[in-house]
Amino acid sequence: MKVGYLGPKATFTNIAVNNMFPKEEAIAFLTIPNCLDAVLEEKVDVALVPVENTLEGSVNITLDYLIHEVNLPIKGEITVPIKQHLMIHPIHMEHFDKMEVVYSHSHAIAQCHKYLHSEWNGIRCENTTSTAAAAQFIKEHPEVMGAAIGNELTAKEYGLTIIKRNIHDYDNNHTRFLILANKRIEFHSPSCDLQGYKTTMMVTLPADRFGALHQVLSAFAWRKLNLVRIESRPTKTGLGNYYFIIDLDRKIDDVLIPGAIAELEAVGCKVQVLGSYPAYAIND
Residues that bind its own copies (CB under 8 A): 52-57, 60, 64, 79, 170, 172, 174, 176, 210-211, 213-214, 217-218, 220-221, 226-234, 236-240, 242
Distance CA 250, CA 277 (A): 9
Strands (E), 9-145: 25-29, 46-53, 57-58, 74-81, 85-88, 101-105, 124-128
CB of 229 to its own copies, least distance (A): 7
Cα–Cα dist 18/66, whole Å: 24
CB closer to its own copies out of 57 and 190: 57
CB of 201 to its own copies, least distance (A): 14
d(CA 16, CA 219): 35
Distance CA 13, CA 17 (A): 6
Question: In the Cβ-directed half-sphere of 247, how many Cα atoms lie within 13 Å?
Answer: 19
The amino acid present at 135, given as its one-letter code, is A
Min dist CB 256 to its own copies, Å, is 15
Give 119 or 170: the residue with its C-beta nearer to its own copies.
170
Q: Report, in Å, the least distance between residue 182 CB and its own copies.
A: 26
For its own copies, the closer of residues 190 and 238 by Cβ is 238
**Which CB sits closer to its own copies, 152 or 249?**
249
Nearer to its own copies, 39 or 205 (CB): 205
Q: How far is it, in rounded angstroms, from Cα 131 to Cα 157?
A: 12
Task: Report DSSP letters for 184-199, one per residue.
Answer: ------TTEEEEEEEE
Minimum distance from CB of 126 to its own copies (Å)? 16
Helix (H) or strand (E) holding 210: helix 209-221
Question: Measured from the CB of residue 68, what is the shortest distance to its own copies in angstroms?
Answer: 10
Toward its own copies, which CB reaches closer, 104 or 111? Answer: 111
